[in-house]
Amino acid sequence: MASECEGIQYGRKRNASLHAGRDESTKSNNRRKIYQKVLDPAILEWSYEQVSKKKGGNTKGIGEETLDSYSKDTILSVSRSLKDHSFRFKPIRRVGIPKPNGEKRPLGIPGPRDKVIQKAMATVLEEIYENKFSNNNHGFRPNRGTHTAIKTVTG
In a 3-state reduction of DSSP, which class is residue 68?
helix
pTM assigned to the model: 0.71
User: Are the C-beta atoms of residues 75 and 45 closer than 8 Å to each other?
Assistant: yes
Q: Model confidence over 72-110: pLDDT tens digits? A: 899 999 999 999 999 999 999 999 999 999 999 999 989
CA–CA distance, 88 with 60 (Å, rounded to integer):
17
Q: In this structure, which amino acid lies at residue 66?
A: T
Question: Which pLDDT belongs to residue 46?
Answer: 94
E strand or H helix at 107: strand 104-109
